[in-house]
Structure 1
Amino acid sequence: MTVHTQKKQALLPVVVILFWFAQYVYIPYQTPYLLSLQVSETFIGSILGAYGITQLLLRLPIGVMADSVGRHKGFILYGTLAAGIASLIRLLFPNGYEFLIANLLSGMASSMWISFMVMYTGFFPEEEQQKATGRIILSCNLGILLGFLFSSLLYKYFGMDLLCILSMMAGALGTLLAFFLKEEKGKGTFSYASLRSLKVCLNKKLILFSLLALIQQGVQMSTAMSFTTQILKERGASAFIIGLSSIIYMASAVLTSGFSSSQRAVKTGPKVLIPFVFLTLGIYCILVPLTPFIPVLLALQFLPGMATGILFSNLTSEAMKGIPAKMKSTAMGFYQAVYALGITLFPMFTGNLIAGYSHLTAYTILALTSLIGAAVSFGYYCFQKNTSKSFFS
């Protein structure tokens, strides 16, 4: 490995940390802040949903465009810049409609995540893709964790304005550093002929692991990132404890992302890790609504963190395995668009179940969905082991 390649590998994770810090530092307090501005809960739902809807619509087209031009630096620059500008809008125009516009812009920024991942994994040979994916997701999770830590420490004393300023600063610094990223020269212009790369979306293995990621992301967004905090509040947890639960979740994601990029995880392999972690996610969904003790609920937050760190890394590397380099951005766009559907729909479905029935009913269905993920992935690897030709190739 050349010194030049080592520098590229070191710089991009720093940009990733800054990017996701900019995207998440204000998130834990976005809803209470909007409520303090007298924004209705219905409109807040639209504001939150705008972030996911934008990604759902943009990720596949951006993947096709990235494959067409054969370069990623420009998309990364757009992403970091948009993340900072979105928080500038929040700072200057603190009202519901401007937050809606800002979240649409933040969703566009997150759609550029395709290029971050494809550029970084492109630095590594095929046999090291799981390790590379684990490392870049580790950087992503570290940025989010730092955002949660800063917001938990500062919001009470300085409010949303400072969080938006920190987001802007991180976006600006990320944009500055991204200018120094180096990549091989691609075609540089969009060609409609590149739409042929859309045929990769028919890859059966890509579809399978995209759907598994939809389950994983949807379950986590519906539990650890949303309704588990409501359960904690009903158990009598303070705002500090609720913030601590998010920190434990993300700290677990960071630690287990580090494990997923280790040689031990590579040796264990996705055939063991994917079904096992889906199983633990199902157990989490069963235990959370049944547990009356706050310390136990906090400890359980380690399990969805493990799903973010280990399960998501392995699902991503498996989805991309065997995809030709010239179609990788399109494949990543399809993969991310599918799991964005889970991020958007699962919380809505869960919220309706909680309103109509109970947390126990909703979490039981999420547990069954996770166990389906475990069974399908286990069956897939058993099939792979017992046949020389994969049905999903």
Structure 2
Amino acid sequence: MHDSSSERMSPAETRAAGGLAMVFAFRMLGMFMVLPVLATYGQELAGSTPALIGLAIGAYGLTQALLQIPFGVLSDRIGRRPVIYAGLLIFAAGSALAANADSIWGVIAGRVLQGAGAISAAVMALLSDLTREQHRTKAMALIGMSIGVSFALAMVAGPLVTRAFGLSGLFWITAGMALFGMVIVAGMVPKASATLRHRESGVARQALGSILRHGELLRLDVGILVLHAILMASFVALPLTLVEQAGLPRDEHWWVYLVAMLVGFFAMVPFIIYGEKKRQMKRVLLGAVALLLVCELYFWQLGHSLTALVIGAILFFMAFNLLEASLPSLVSKVSPAAGKGTAMGVYSTSQFLGAALGGIFGGWLLEQGGLGAVFIGCALLCAIWLAIAATMREPPYVTSLRLSLSRAALADTGLTARLLAVPGVADVMVVAEEAALYIKVDTEQLDRASLERLIDPAPAC
């Protein structure tokens, strides 16, 4: 148990957050380095067709979507570390299988096995075990940043590594990064004194039904599914477009992605700040989806020169990064008290399912109708998403808190009603088995003194 009055993260918490962020980063780097190169280098594999290359690009999402929530539940039962070690070993085995493959089917099998190492939920649960309540948001933000940085690096590193070592070498490096992730968990991440059942970072079966019926959350789940479907489908076509339309050799694609990711990232930051500060997240979301739609139509009609494709890629990654950053924040705001972990579990499953469907969809369209068909298909997906997103309500601008409750507070049957009467409190749930209170508050309106007078929390663990 830590001193909850400490304003700074302890050295153990810092090591936990940094170590687990590195594990996430290495794994995501390995997963996404293939994305910008498989469409071009995969043509050399025996039996390859555009549809099968698309399947190879998205295949990891199939097993990731199926096993994401079960692995999280398993980590509650047998412990976080065994699940994380097993998942990283499975991921490394999938990478080795793909590295040894000389046919497209071998790469597909390797990608399916990579996805079976679905450790995201277990890593987030371990982070909750190792951090105090007041620092958990910072720790999770660090992991979110590591995922974003690793994706950007993967876009640049993938073509460079493949140019130097070939597709097989890329997969061997990916296997090595997964094994190094095990070393980080063993050597850098502290041991947890207890396993917490925590509804902010884990899936609660009791909450699953209500989350799956929640209209606003379902809109966001559809959004992340479509976003990653568009990403995977676009990368079935975009590398080939750079080669065939712009004449850029596949070995030189890295600089296009470097420019697009850097400029796209900095261009989206003001919109994130505007959406949060001015409480206009819906407007920002709709604008980004509309921009994504315009990008796909632009690639279809105007993506015939290198300059045009670089401009299109910058706008694409600006919209993609903006949506990738906004959607989890919206899920956190919209989810009910004590439902955020479950909502994020369903959201992550939708994300991986979208990746799988996008690869399959993009490959099939490329085979049936060429590069233009892929961009038209992605534009249609954007249009459907825009129509769905337009019906969403402006989200509540609230923060989730979890407070440990004393025995006396747990026995107080009128506590929930009194808390809901405090200005700025939007939602409350007492979870007796955790001896905890989950509460959603608008920090700009919250009367913190009134809240603290009503609650006498036990020290947070």
TM-score, with normalisation over the residues of structure 2?
0.68
Structure 2 letter corresponding to 1:17: A
CA displacement at 1:360 relative to structure 2: 4.6
Identity of aligned residues (%): 19
CA displacement at 1:211 relative to structure 2: 0.8
Larger Cα-atom Rg: 2
Match of residue 153 from structure 2: 146
Match of residue 31 from structure 2: 23
Structure 2 letter corresponding to 1:298: V
Q: Distance in 2 between matches of 1:233 and 1:12?
A: 38
CA displacement at 1:357 relative to structure 2: 5.0
Match of residue 233 from structure 1: 243
Match of residue 56 from structure 1: 65
Q: Does residue 115 of structure 2 align to residue 103 of structure 1?
A: no
Q: Distance in 1 between matches of 2:213 and 2:74?
A: 18
RMSD: 4.0
- Structure scoring higher RCO (CA < 8 A, sep ≥ 6) equals 1
Unpaired segments of 5 or more residues in structure 1?
none
Cα contact 1:141–1:250 (8 A) shared by 2: no
Q: Distance in 1 between matches of 2:253 and 2:73?
A: 40
Q: Does residue 341 of structure 2 align to residue 319 of structure 1?
A: no
Q: Does residue 91 of structure 2 align to residue 79 of structure 1?
A: no
Spell out, residue by residue over 1:291-324, the C-alpha distance to the aligned partner (whole angstroms, 9 max, x if none).
Answer: 1332121122122322332212221222233657
Q: Distance in 1 between matches of 2:39 and 2:291?
A: 29
Cα contact 1:214–1:343 (8 A) shared by 2: yes
CA displacement at 1:177 relative to structure 2: 1.0
Decide which structure has greater helix share: 1
Decide which structure has greater strand share: 2
Q: Distance in 2 between matches of 1:105 and 1:220?
A: 21
Out of 363, 372, 375, the position equivalent to 1:363 is: 375
CA displacement at 1:11 relative to structure 2: 2.6
Q: Does residue 287 of structure 2 align to residue 280 of structure 1?
A: no
Give aligned pairs, total.
Answer: 380
Q: Distance in 2 between matches of 1:314 and 1:279?
A: 15
CA displacement at 1:284 relative to structure 2: 0.8
Q: Does residue 166 of structure 2 align to residue 159 of structure 1?
A: yes
Q: Distance in 1 between matches of 2:124 and 2:263?
A: 21
Match of residue 380 from structure 1: 392
SS at structure 2 position matched to 1:380: coil
Unpaired segments of 5 or more residues in structure 2?
1-7, 198-202, 398-425, 428-439, 441-461
**How is 1:157-196 mapped onto 2 (pairs within 5 angstroms)?**
157-179=164-186, 180-182=188-190, 183=192, 185-186=194-195, 195-196=205-206
Structure 2 letter corresponding to 1:61: P
Change (3 A) 1:86 1:268: farther
Q: Distance in 2 between matches of 1:5 and 1:50?
A: 35
Change (3 A) 1:289 1:218: same
Match of residue 338 from structure 1: 350
TM-score, with normalisation over the residues of structure 1?
0.78
Spell out, residue by residue over 1:216-240, the C-alpha distance to the aligned partner (whole angstroms, 9 max, x if none).
Answer: 22222222x2212233333132224
CA displacement at 1:383 relative to structure 2: 8.7
Out of 247, 255, 273, the position equivalent to 1:244 is: 255
Q: Distance in 1 between matches of 2:262 and 2:226?
A: 22
Q: Distance in 1 between matches of 2:158 and 2:251?
A: 11
Structure 1 letter corresponding to 2:332: M
CA displacement at 1:116 relative to structure 2: 3.9
